[in-house]
Amino acid sequence: MLGRSHPSVRRARALRRDGALREAEGVLLAEGIHLAEEALAASAPIEIVWVSPRLSAIAGGASLRARLAGAAAEIHEAPDRLLDSLQDARSPQPVLLLVRRPLDSLESALRGRGAVPLLVIAAGVQDPGNLGALVRTADAAGATGFVAARGGADPLHPRAVRATMGSVFRLPLARAAAADLPGVLRSAGVRAVGAVPRAASDYRRLDWTAPTALLVGGEGAGLPADLLEAMDDVVSIPTHPGVESLSVGAAAAVLLFEAKRQRDLSCGG
């Protein structure tokens, strides 16, 4: 059994609280059985696994432990209290992974997954859980890449990773300075579309089959004014009278699944 002074435990504590360290090392902490299964399915490089004795009491737990032992460079059994202290989850999980997952370059995120670019850019989203949910939505809607603008939440924060539900292992994911984005998009021939509560353009009238970057702003504040000025198009979602706006997650889902609908139709799907 591990103790609190074990090198792997000290490293996990440091990575949990230090976003700059996570980014510099190109790693993330993945909490729980679902993320462990997703990391294995994605053949993500697993550096360290910490397991609780209670994992073996869960259905399929012994099998998961064996598969993790075969995939990870290190596996350690930790007392429940110690393992719980290394996690951010409100309901601590019986397994914790340290996974190598360097952020992608902006250029890689633009190239994405080989289809016509549909890039999602979060500018000013401060809550890690909301950011991670956006990554999950982008993945589900077939986006080709995701960029978290600096100054917002860290996409490798444990709460963000947990909210992606595994999409962090599948979707190209980058960070970039917001000021750099308009020029990079323009050079790549990707149209910048900003989402706002009220605009002249209804999102359904936009051609989402063209190379597009959807920019969504922070909770309450929306997109920064300097980014809005640089947009090629600005769209909104018509809502029932009296409803000022949708949450960033709900708005992104509506817009991205309209993009998916149009793209599926254009491909005959």
In the chain, pLDDT over 90 holds for what percent of residues?
Answer: 82
User: How confident is the model at residue 104, as a pLDDT?
Assistant: 96
Average pLDDT over residues 142-160: 96
User: How confident is the model at residue 269, as a pLDDT?
Assistant: 59
pLDDT digits (tens, 9 = 90+) for 184-232: 999 999 999 999 988 778 999 999 999 999 999 987 778 999 999 999 9
Chain region(s) in the chain for CATH 3.40.1280.10: 106-266
Does domain 7-100 fall under CATH 3.30.1330.30? My reply is yes
* pLDDT exceeds 90 at position 268: no
| CA–CA distance, 235 with 226 (Å, rounded to integer) | 16
* pLDDT exceeds 80 at position 261: yes
Please, what is the average pLDDT of the chain? 94
Sheet hosting strand 233-236, strand order edge to edge: 173-176, 145-149, 118-123, 212-217, 191-195, 233-236, 201-202
Chain region(s) in the chain for CATH 3.30.1330.30: 7-100
pLDDT digits (tens, 9 = 90+) for 169-195: 999 999 999 999 999 999 999 999 999
Mean pLDDT comparison of 64-68, 90-94, 110-114, highest-scoring range: 64-68
What's domain 106-266's superfamily in CATH? SPOUT methyltransferase, trefoil knot domain (3.40.1280.10)
